[in-house]
Structure 1
Amino acid sequence: MNTVLLTGFEPFNKANINPAWEAVRALEGWGGAAFRVEVRQLPCVFGQANAALAAMVDELRPDIVIAVGQAGGRAEISVERVAINVDDASILDNAGQQPVDRRICEDGPAAYFSTLPIKAMVAAMREKGVQAGVSQTAGTFVCNHVFYGLMHHTAGKAVKAGFIHVPFLPEQAEARSDSPPSMPLDDIIRGIMTAVETAVNVERDVANVGGATH
């Protein structure tokens, strides 16, 4: 029986909702014949988020970890390929921190790749009618911070791990003047469920095109 740890962030940047957490918490208690899901919330705070996630991994000893965050402005669920070793925040985190050009781990490599079957996950979501794609950047805010911290903490361990970004919810988009794209919560939940099932069942990723020219 595989244990799957799903995490989502608390709201940030003065928002009162985070679609990542809304989707993840909806899956509390969900499972299948070969897996069970554990759900946890992370603070949107540099340092604290990585410490909390590391403690969760050590406590639960999951086989799969998928951290989920919000990427406002994106139109699809983004399965992230790579985490980079830098914090460079354009906004404050929830503790008022704004690190600039700071390494996440002084003795860590420049980057880590996801160990999830990212292209198979994207293909499975698309087959179910959920807009999804491979992303080449997780940004340089707390999402990338957590993605990098997760991969550093699980490096060398028999754990599949990675990060997924989700779009704004329609109600978030409607409240903004720039009219960004959005995705209904039910579609986000369906996408995350599909991602989990794929991660459980697929050992070798597919070789579909998932690159970008810019």
Structure 2
Amino acid sequence: MGSEGPAAAAVTTVHVTGFKKFHGVSENPTEAIVRNLTEYMNKKGLPKGLVIGSCTILETAGQGALVPLYQTLQSAITAAKESESSSSNRVIWLHFGVNSGATKFAIERQAVNEATFRCPDEMGWKPQKVPIVPSDGAISRTRETTLPVEEITKALAKKGYNVMTSDDAGRFVCNYVYYHSLRFAEQNGIKSLFVHVPLFFTIDEEVQMQFAASLLDLLPSIC
């Protein structure tokens, strides 16, 4: 008889971010979603194989917030390497941002290497047609998530959510963060996904919390 125990079950660790307020949005719904997500999921019951690694609220800023952003991203890699079962762990960065004019949730397929901010970010930066990562080349360069956005969108729509797949995350801070995250994910063998949500005025907070929970429920089986 062999002495080996059963193979460790795969664990999907999800690190979640949202944003603070910014110009024109005094109360960012993603701040509330991310702040309350761990408690909400613990009450609901985490799906098997899912761990919430961290929940972080980011400044709504581009260049000026890069250091804390990369510290946040790197923490996922460090935690995975320290895990005894790191070989069976999967890491996903899940970013939530608000689109104040939206009426639906949007699963973002890609980010573009362009920062063109319609208004100054929270640190006063207002770039125009600037490459996010100059070494990546032109502002037309895109990076796509390796997660199956169509499959995720269809599964959430079946649950009754008003959700769509999007190929345009804008050119503001959401796209800026997503581009850096996708680049970091590619370099480190992990995955990244960005989701735009409407204001609570359009889709209320409880429905948005349910949506976030349903998305987390999907990730262990879909990634």
TM-score by length of 1: 0.84
Give the match for residue 171 of structure 2: 140
Do residues 86 (structure 1) and 114 (structure 2) align?
yes
- Displacement of 1:14 in angstroms is 4.9
Distance in 2 of aligned mates of 1:57 and 1:20: 18
Give the match for residue 186 of structure 1: 206
Greater helix content: 2
Distance in 2 of aligned mates of 1:57 and 1:90: 26
Give the match for residue 211 of structure 1: none
The one-letter code matched in structure 1 to 2:162 is Q
- Displacement of 1:84 in angstroms is 0.3
Structure 1, unmatched stretches of 5+, are: 171-181, 204-214
Structure 2, unmatched stretches of 5+, are: 1-10, 81-90
Change (3 A) 1:49 1:125: farther
Distance in 1 of aligned mates of 2:130 and 2:212: 31
Do residues 95 (structure 1) and 126 (structure 2) align?
no
Give the match for residue 19 of structure 2: 9
Change (3 A) 1:46 1:115: same
Aligned pairs (5 A) from 1:35-184: 35-37=50-52, 38-61=54-77, 63-108=91-136, 110-170=141-201, 182-184=202-204
Give the root-mean-square deviation of aligned CA atoms. Answer: 1.6
Distance in 1 of aligned mates of 2:76 and 2:216: 17
Runs of 4+ in 1 over 4 A off after TM superposition: none
Larger radius of gyration: 2
Distance in 2 of aligned mates of 1:8 and 1:67: 6
TM-score by length of 2: 0.81
- Displacement of 1:161 in angstroms is 0.7
Change (3 A) 1:124 1:50: farther
Give the match for residue 216 of structure 2: 196
